Structure 1
């Protein structure tokens, strides 16, 4: 049975929350593999395993796609490979919570550019303050942020913007999750040169393979499937602000799995980003005069 139009935004919000909860825990598991496989090796394995799982589950049929669909899926794969690679390279050098907070500058800028309502702009501002506090906490705390790690996470932030735009385009042009599966295959091929040594190491150690598979499920299969579906239900500006929940979950994952401290300043920042997400969620429930997101129409890049 098709869902009523009024329920679709709430489903989209729930999908984004599920993605934000899954991704950081996958990253925390991946961090345990860095000393053995390296950050780029873990990235390659994660994307390759996720591609294989989705190919088996979705069984896409891309041979009938047109040029626009193939281009969208290919660019989606490029964004996936680069965003994940630079993100893992960054969290190999800086704590998970501040890393995700700084990376969130990408979708936050996108949300600010696309916003059309004063209320949206206010919540973007609240999220920005939270991001700033998280970044400040990372710089003035006991462990200053590594400069190269900062460069890596800013590059990842730029590719996160590309990921959101291309995910929306793939969701609009390609039914189901076939575009995601093909995009992951493209990403896996691009990362193959850095992944071969890691694959050889994992093949000889079933425990490492299990951790790599868990990383792929938590960091790729679940969140990307949820986000692709969410972008069919929500405007990109709302999606971008809701992603501000991710630094909160990242801080929690870093504390629970990696033993990284959650300072009072960091907790204040988390409260602000949660407030921004709640405010945006309430706003999208009231927004009934903009039919685009609720009929599956997604703003596409020029």
Structure 2
């Protein structure tokens, strides 16, 4: 989470020079190169069935990253992350019939409502930035569902997780590249900008995706999910340290409510699955 949010802060610092779209394209492209080298993805050529899962996964990854970068160009990093978390939270709560899960929905809805400019308590924020962050959350939800389908085909064919991520990252880079090139103005990419873009790709994608795969092997999914729910808090701290972004107490409360909703739903769902597994003969 520290790596992801530091990378996002670094990315935001170069938006005024090369724009958020080109930054996204460079991040995904450089991350794809690093992951391909790390996992030697060229040694595994995806089959037609694998491509059917990789392409939606990569497209969702592209949409999620592009919309998120467009949003943090307009609103603080911590707030954008909190709103983006509504995507995976919606996936986790979809179809639930447990009354206690309504509590997490209430927390999340209240947190989002406090951030949106619909009450006198809400601090002024760019409406388009808020919409883009929520849209990024939608793509995050799609990304989770596409990732599950990709993981299933990987289990059937024996394709390793790192290779799947590398091919998905390459797909995302190819999707965003035209947008980045078309919307960018004439930019002289000097050595410093290339190093910053490389840092964004490594910190925001290559390092965290690799660490997540290691962490998931060492930690129960419940603990991993709860820890991941703290990302908006880490993002707010990163925005404060590196970008001097200060949040109002109401915005901090809204982020806290969304974090509680995400962590709480993760914990309850994992406990429910544990109990169901123990009840099986």
TM bucket (normalised to shorter chain) is 0.7 to 0.9
Match of 1:262 in 2: 247
CA distance in 2, matches of 1:68, 1:123: 37
Match of 2:257 in 1: 272
Alignment deviations for residues 158-197 of structure 1 (CA, whole Å, 9 cap, x no partner): 2111111112222232222111100111111122224448
C-alpha displacement of 1:46: 0.1
CA distance in 1, matches of 2:115, 2:232: 9
Match of 1:11 in 2: none
Instruction: Answer with 220-229 or 262-271: which moved more.
Output: 220-229
CA contact (8 A) 2:72 2:80 kept: yes
Unaligned runs of 5+ in 1: 1-19, 293-302
CA distance in 1, matches of 2:89, 2:241: 26
Q: TM-score, normalised by structure 1?
A: 0.75
RMSD (Å), alpha carbons: 3.3
CA distance in 1, matches of 2:119, 2:177: 33
CA distance in 1, matches of 2:109, 2:211: 24
CA distance in 2, matches of 1:281, 1:191: 31
C-alpha displacement of 1:201: 4.2
> How many residues get paired?
267
Match of 1:5 in 2: none
C-alpha displacement of 1:105: 2.3
C-alpha displacement of 1:92: 1.2
Match of 1:16 in 2: none
C-alpha displacement of 1:68: 2.6
C-alpha displacement of 1:44: 0.2
Q: Which of the numbers 116, 120, 125 marks the counterpart of 1:145?
A: 125
Unaligned runs of 5+ in 2: 155-159
CA distance in 2, matches of 1:244, 1:273: 9
Q: Which of the numbers 15, 26, 29 marks the counterpart of 1:34?
A: 15
Match of 2:77 in 1: 96
C-alpha displacement of 1:259: 0.8
CA contact (8 A) 2:114 2:121 kept: no
CA distance in 2, matches of 1:196, 1:125: 42
